[in-house]
Amino acid sequence: MNRIYLDYAATTPVDKSVLKAMLPYFSQKFGNPMSIHSFGYEGEAAVEKSRKITADFLHCLPDEVIFTSGATESNNLAIKGFSKKYHFSQPGKKHFIPHIITTAFEHHCVLNSVKFLEESGQAEVTYLPVYKDGIVRVEDVKNAIRDNTRFISIMYVNNEIGTVQPIEKIGKLIKDINKIQSRLGGTEFKILFHTDATQAINYFNCDVQKLGVDLLSLSGHKFYGPKGIGALYVKKGSFIKRIQDGGDQEFGMRAGTHNVPGIVGLAEALAGIKTQSRGFGTKIKIMTSLRDYLISRVLKEIPEVKLNGSKKFRSPNNANFSLANVEGESLILSLNREGIACSTGSACSTGSLEPSHVLLALGLPPEEAHGSLRVSLGKDTTRKEIEVFIEKLKKVVKKLRNISGNVLKEYK
Ligand code: PMP
């Protein structure tokens, strides 16, 4: 059976050019970048070249790029690294608990990191609403800021519903507040702004100067790079401390032997976004019209379906629906039997029967949050694939609704 992959928000295949760039670093050029011999120098040169490419992509300095194992680690390092620095910098002194602002629909690696700080008494946390359209309001961020606010973490693009947050506007707001605060009381009052840009890298401008962020997380496998590699942009002078003890790699911010092939692959994938006009060129236009075609046909041809999240402020690759009287997991398994790969909720929570926290944050009742379908397109997705998908979806939904209708009748 011909399989159709429509789960590119979960992960993407490694590009041919990326694989080619990585291969020598598994065997021929295997040196540890920390070693002071020619094998080590080869590894070090590759890491530093990759750091420069990553920095150019983000429009920052090379030593503001910390390579990690992925966005999960980057987000943990940003949030817990801030808290560690904050509490360590005032040992023995009576100091106030910092206040963190985030949103209710962040990825679990952000949500659970701030929850950990909250539950262990290291931070007070405000979880901002995201409304029916899945967009955080700049005004809400402004109103939530208190005297002790020191950290704000808001994702760029939501991984389940693909909605795009006004990061640049929030960045400007925080910059203005920091300016006023620093006039009043010095740098101690600075609020750090972090964004999880994992789902944005492929499609949106991630120039950290333009966005006005102090910290930005990304993960290689979401943009045709390898898995197990990521990065955290840390603006010079940011108030964070390492959270993993060990060697002095990554400017002392992230201990552990470098994943050289991964780092090379990540940089090559980032370079590909620009050179193949995948990120800002015609492919995005094609993808957007394909997505809109998919959305309009599903809404028109399948009864009792809703699109979740704003249609306008949405990633070009994402469509997320709620289907009445269909259970999400059954839908994914039935589509899989038809050769179609999609997801319900986020891939990380597949296997759990909890309703999606993202859809609950949008105000959906739990039964609707259970019946969701995320379809995410890739750079090579074709119209033919979308057409096959729609026909299979119609067939599967009809079948599942018949079964659940019959079960309900038997119980009446
Ligand atoms: N943040 C977002 C928005 C994501 O989509 C993901 C991946 N699902 C992550 C963080 C975690 O990335 P990784 O699993 O590569 O560490």
Residue 70 beta carbon below 6 angstroms from any ligand 1 atom: yes
* Pair 183, 319 in one domain: no
Question: Which of 255, 276, 297 is a domain's end point?
Answer: 276
CATH of the domain at 72: 3.40.640.10
pTM to 2 decimal places: 0.95
Distance 68 CA to ligand 1 centre (A): 13
412: in domain: no
Residue 71: what residue type?
A
Residue 183: predicted pLDDT: 66
- 54 within a domain of the structure (yes/no): yes
Contact 266, 257 (CB under 8 A): no
pLDDT at 348 over 90: no
**Band of pLDDT at residue 277, cut at 50, 70 and 90:** low
Question: What band does 355 get if pLDDT is binned at 50, 70 and 90?
Answer: confident
The rounded mean pLDDT for the chain is 93
The pLDDT of residue 346: 47
What are the tens digits of pLDDT across the range 61-109?
A: 999 999 999 999 999 999 999 999 999 887 666 778 999 999 999 999 9
Does residue 369 sit within a domain?
A: yes
Q: Whose CA is nearest to atom 8 of ligand 1?
A: 10
Output the CA–CA distances (angstroms, integers) from residue 370 to 88, 322, 323, 343, 365, in the order listed: 43, 8, 9, 12, 9
What is the reported pLDDT for 408?
54
DSSP state of 96: P
For residue 411, being part of any structural domain is answered with no
Q: Report strand pairing: 305-307 vs 215-219.
A: unpaired
Q: Is the CB of 159 under 6 A from ligand 1?
A: yes
Q: 341 and 242 in one domain?
A: no
Ligand 1 pocket member 219 (CB < 6 A): yes
For the CA of 220, the closest atom of ligand 1 is 15
240 shares a domain with 158 = yes
What is the Cα–Cα distance from 269 to 18, expressed in whole angstroms? Answer: 6
Tell me: do 301 and 253 sit in the same domain.
no
pLDDT in tens, 102-156: 999 999 999 999 999 999 999 999 999 999 999 999 999 999 999 999 999 999 9
pLDDT (tens digit per residue) in 285-329? 899 999 999 999 999 999 999 999 999 999 999 999 999 999 999
* Average pLDDT value for residue range 277-292: 80
Cβ of 220 below 6 Å from ligand 1: no
Q: Determine, yes or no, domain membership for 363.
A: yes
321 C-alpha vs ligand 1 centroid, how far in Å? 21
The catalytically annotated residue of 60, 109, 342, 348 is 348
Helix ranges restricted to H, 32-156: 38-58, 71-88, 108-119, 138-144
Shared domain check, 266 and 156? yes
Handedness of CA 290, 292, 295, 299 (dihedral sign): negative
- Residue 347: which pLDDT band, with cuts at 50, 70 and 90? very low
Q: CB–CB of 218/211 below 8 Å?
A: no
Q: Residues 255, 342: one domain?
A: no
Instruction: Please tell me the distance between residue 107's alpha carbon and the centre of ligand 1 in angstroms.
Output: 7
Sequence-distant (6+) residues with CB within 8 A of 118 are 100, 124, 125
One domain for residues 343 and 256:
no
Give tens-digit pLDDT for 156-202.
999 999 999 999 999 999 999 998 877 666 556 799 999 999 999 99
On whether both 301 and 368 belong to a single domain, the answer is: yes
Residue at which a domain ends, from 257, 276, 295: 276
374 and 236, same structural domain? no
Q: How many domains does one find in the chain?
A: 2
Query: Considering the domain boundaries, does residue 360 fall inside one?
Result: yes
Domain boundary among 258, 276, 294: 276
What's the rounded Cα separation, in Å, for the pair 339 and 188?
56
Q: Which of 108, 167, 198 is the pocket-test mutation for ligand 1 (most atoms within 8 Å of CB)?
A: 198
Output the pLDDT for position 271.
94
Q: Give distance in angstroms: CA of 372 to centre of ligand 1.
A: 19
Q: Among 7, 8, 72, which residue has the most ligand 1 atoms within 8 Å of its CB, making it the best to mutate?
A: 72
Domain co-membership, 49 together with 109: yes
Annotation marks residue 348 as catalytic: yes
Residues 210 and 305 in one domain: no
Q: How many CB atoms lie within 10 A of CB 263?
A: 30
Contact 213, 193 (CB under 8 A): yes
- When pLDDT is cut at 50, 70 and 90, the band that residue 33 belongs to is very high
Segment 48-54 mean pLDDT = 98
CATH code of the domain containing 8:
3.90.1150.10
155 lines ligand 1 (CB under 6 A): yes
Flag whether pLDDT at 334 surpasses 80: yes
Q: pLDDT: is 276 or 72 the higher one?
A: 72
Residue 317 and residue 234 share a domain: no
The reply to whether ligand 1 has any atom less than 6 angstroms from the CB of 72 is yes
Q: Which atom of ligand 1 lies nearest, measured to the CA of 348? A: 8
218 pocket-lining for ligand 1 (C-beta < 6 Å): no
Share of the chain above pLDDT 70, in %: 92
Backbone angles phi, psi at 310, to 5 degrees: -60, 140
- Asked if residue 332 has pLDDT above 80, the reply is yes
Q: Is the pLDDT of residue 352 over 90?
A: no
Domain region containing 347 = 4-12+279-404
What DSSP string describes 285-345?
HHHHHHHHHHHHHHHHHSSSEEE-S-SSSB-TTEEEEEETT--HHHHHHHHHHTTEE-BSS
Cβ atoms of 249 and 34 closer than 8 Å: yes
Q: What is the pLDDT of residue 88?
A: 86
Residue nearest to atom 10 of ligand 1 (CA): 71
219 CA from centroid of ligand 1 (Å) = 7
Q: Decide: 199 in ligand 1 pocket, CB within 6 A.
A: yes
What's the rounded Cα separation, in Å, for the pair 145 and 151?
A: 10
Give pLDDT, residue 251.
97
